[in-house]
Structure 1
């Protein structure tokens, strides 16, 4: 199965003049019973936060929350006493487990662009935890860069309590990348910029392609493109 979801079909949310978001799955005031999750991937939001604004302290539980900063900066504070400022190219993971509170704010004068993905964990009742790394993935050329994973075959990436992996990718015009997978897994490709063919399905900026029962995901640059690829199990046995 290969399903293209155009950018125009994503839910567009705007809160005041400080937050603009695109929801790839049901979230907040948007609910579609046919679009709740994809394997353990429960939330995928593309956010833009204006300067001197952000999310106040709020709680979560039983979720793996991944934040990928694409542009600008983001200051994170939490109930574990972490106080860090993330820059473009940084990735963080929050294990909210039995209970975790955090705030995320843009304390600069320019806009911040980020992705936030939530995964149902592969084990309930985990102790709250936090990790972030500077991965400098934005300079990648014609390759996939793993950002966060629970698959032990990958190193030097942020850890995730899910048998899933999030990649940032770049493919040049006319170039190809083949991602080997298994028919028991699923993948979601979200185009950040440009245009590309995903197993011969044309996708442009803001489009997503969901794939199931594939052995290989072929990524071809119809134009220079950047994208996110999320590789997930069809079912996470412990959630």
Structure 2
């Protein structure tokens, strides 16, 4: 099963003059009971934060929160004592667990752009944790690279408590890629730039496709394309 959701169908919100965000799922002021989550993937926000602004300190519990920095830089601070600066190509993972508070601010003179994803944890009640890595994923060429995972077959990237993996992909015009999956899993693909054919369905910039009950997700780049691919279980198992 394939479901195309176009860029114009994303929920757009502007908070003051500092945040422009597009929500792929119900979040904050947007609620659609038919669009709450996809497997354990609960939040997928595409954020653009203006200069000298950001998210003040706020709490989370029982979520795996991951951020992918696309442009600019973000300063992170949390209740565990972490203080870090994240730049384009960096990946951040927070296990909220029993409770964590954090702030994410853009202290530069330009804007910052990031993707923020939340996964429902499959290990409730664990201690909060934090990590970030410089993966330089934006320089990926003609392949799919994992950014964060809860599947132990993948190493040397941030590990989260969800049986899911997020990938960044690049394909040159005319390029092809077959993503192997299982019928008991789901796939969400979000195009960041360019255009793709996904099983012969045209998918343009900021469109998304949600796929279920497939063994292979076939991709063909009709133009040079970059994208995020999220691989999730149809049903998450708590451990």
Equivalent residue for 2:176? Answer: 176
Equivalent residue for 1:85? Answer: 85
Equivalent residue for 1:42? Answer: 42
Equivalent residue for 2:109? Answer: 109
Equivalent residue for 2:215? Answer: 215
- How far is 1:12 from its partner? 0.2
Equivalent residue for 1:139? Answer: 139
Separation in structure 2 between the aligned mates of residue 164 and residue 59 of structure 1, nearest angstrom:
23
Separation in structure 1 between the aligned mates of residue 200 and residue 150 of structure 2, nearest angstrom:
29
Equivalent residue for 1:65? Answer: 65
Equivalent residue for 2:56? Answer: 56
Runs of 5+ unmatched residues, structure 1: none
Aligned-CA RMSD value = 0.7
Determine whether 1:153 maps to 2:143.
no
Runs of 5+ unmatched residues, structure 2: none
The two structures have a TM-score, normalised by structure 2, of 0.99
The two structures have a TM-score, normalised by structure 1, of 0.99
Separation in structure 1 between the aligned mates of residue 39 and residue 110 of structure 2, nearest angstrom:
35
Question: Which runs of 4 or more aligned residues in structure 1 lie more than 4 Å from their structure 2 counterparts after TM superposition?
Answer: none
- How far is 1:208 from its partner? 0.2
- How far is 1:189 from its partner? 0.1
- How far is 1:200 from its partner? 1.4
- How far is 1:219 from its partner? 1.1
- How far is 1:24 from its partner? 0.1
Separation in structure 2 between the aligned mates of residue 179 and residue 156 of structure 1, nearest angstrom:
21
Equivalent residue for 1:232? Answer: 232
- Number of equivalences: 239
Separation in structure 2 between the aligned mates of residue 215 and residue 175 of structure 1, nearest angstrom:
20
- How far is 1:47 from its partner? 0.2
